[in-house]
Amino acid sequence: MQLVEAILLALHTVWSHRLRSFFTLLGIIVSVAFLVAVVAVISGMNAYVRERLAGAIVGVNAFQIRRDPIQVGFIDDEAWKQIQRRPIIAPEDVAFITKAVPDAEAVALQSGWPTPMADVQWRNRETGDVFIFGVTAPYVVVQDYTFAAGDPLTTVDLEQRRYVAVLGYDVAEKLFGEPAAAVGQMIRVRGVQLTVKGVIAKKGTVLGQSWDGFVMLPLSTFEMMYGRRQRWWGRRCCGRRRRCASRTACGPARTMTSRSTRAKG
């Protein structure tokens, strides 16, 4: 009986102060809705960083071993000298990484930074400022690449130093109109003819930058064209006592080999 009386008293109080009750209820609804919206935005940003940003740069569930750090800005001469004393990553190190990380699904080598850029030509068509880099066959597994057309690079392509290439989606679209038309065609990079073997599916843009403007070569073919430790010259950095750490635009800097592993699961 006391419970019924308490409920009736509460309803009477609410009805007697209808306006205040309405605003109280409205405040609770808005607060809960705002909290849900904030949680949804944070979850969406985390998914974006994980799937788009991290996936585009190093692959999902992957990590890189690099000689040079990824750094934008300036580093002093002492730090630069310490970086240059680090050992160069070599293909022979793959076996050590495979042994150290037995659960890795794939271990791949990639040509070092800074990544060279070149014009890519097909017949009378040309597209410029295309990134050119060399990789080993497992690289497509590390980067979670899927193919819009054609086939990936193979170990045989590396061993025989074949003049074949895999194109990013933007390059294939600009030169051929559609990915399927690119497979089997001959393109020219730095005066070298390459046969298009496949086209990577579109990855889109991350923070306004496209990740589909590249040509991927077998690492052995890349080293024949650019050299394993060749210097790549770009715009010089300003200042005598500082060196630019963003060496894709400034130089000179030696290329180095990076490798990535992707764990199972």
Could you report the per-residue pLDDT of 193-242, keeping only the tens digit for each? 999 999 999 887 776 778 899 999 999 999 999 886 433 322 223 333 33
Element (H, E) at 149: strand 147-150
Residue-wise pLDDT for 57-66, tens only, equals 666 677 778 7
Q: Give the percent of the chain with pLDDT over 70.
A: 78
- pLDDT, average across residues 121-132: 93
Give this prediction's pTM: 0.66
pLDDT value, residue 107:
87
Structure confidence at residue 71 (pLDDT): 66
Helix extents (H) in the chain = 2-16, 18-48, 54-57, 77-84, 93-100, 139-142, 155-159, 169-176, 179-182, 219-226
* pLDDT tens readout for residues 163-187: 999 999 999 999 999 989 999 999 9
d(CA 64, CA 67): 10
